[in-house]
A and B are shown apart, each in its own frame.
Chain A
Amino acid sequence: EVQLVESGGDLVQPGGSLRLSCAASGFTFRDYWMYWVRQVPGKGLVCVSHINTDGSYTAYEDSVKGRFTITRDNAKNTLYLQMNSLRVEDTAVYYCVRKMIHNPFDRWGQGTLVTVSS
């Protein structure tokens, strides 16, 4: 069974840091591009960052550039998102999502809540 399990969400003060993890199982992790998609509670979906299959290419949404870093460990089947200099507006549920080229997002994790507040 395909599973994506996020962890690491927490309450953090503005300016703080968090590292999110996404443990993948049930499929060949190294064959998929991986994305972090966030959703402010009650609002829409935004792609925050993505990484290619071997980790040599990454991209970021403008509001997180220079603050967030996406990485992956294909030996451990795990995706990461290092979040620094967190802002109140980063408060959201963060989903780990898999994607193959020419295909849509077909599996999502359950999400992990990041709350940035003083």
Chain B
Amino acid sequence: EIVLTQSPGTLSLSPGERATLSCRASQSISRNYLAWYQQKPGQAPTLLIYGAFTRATGIPDRFSGSGSGTDFTLTIGRLEPEDYAVYYCHKYDSSPLTFGGGTKVEIK
């Protein structure tokens, strides 16, 4: 089973700052089938990025994904108030489908 490790666990940043979130896989993820989700308190996760770098429908361009193989990054260009949330990476190439432990982006 491929394990996804996200870092840091918590990121404390001010509005307008840039956020860089990391997701490292224990083995290479085929076809870059790596997605990122945002989850706000009391809500279900929503899809932000898939295929490592493709934004989902309606996602603002301040969200960008990069990486390949075992190392992936989610970047939020300039934090808006609505961006404070928990972010999860997720591999969907083959079973078992797994998630990283999450990175919480909180207001500094």
Residues of A within 8 A of B (CB): 35, 44-47, 50, 59, 61, 95, 99, 102-106, 108-111
Contact = CB atoms under 8 A, between A and B. Distances in A.
B96 interface: yes
Contacts of B35: 104-105
A95 B95 CA distance: 18
Contacts of A104: 33, 35, 47, 50, 90, 92
Contact of B95 (A59, A102, A108, A111): A59
Those 8 A-B pairs whose CB atoms lie nearest each other, nearest first = A108-B44, A104-B35, A45-B99, A104-B50, A104-B92, A47-B97, A44-B101, A106-B47
Interface of B: 31, 33, 35, 37, 43-47, 50, 56, 88, 90, 92, 95-102
23 contacts: A35-B97, A44-B99, A44-B102, A45-B88, A45-B90, A45-B99, A47-B97, A50-B97, A59-B95, A61-B96, A102-B31, A103-B50, A104-B33, A104-B50, A104-B90, A105-B45, A105-B47, A105-B92, A106-B47, A106-B56, A108-B44, A110-B43, A110-B44
Nearest to A6: B44
Contact of B88 (A44, A47, A102, A103): A44
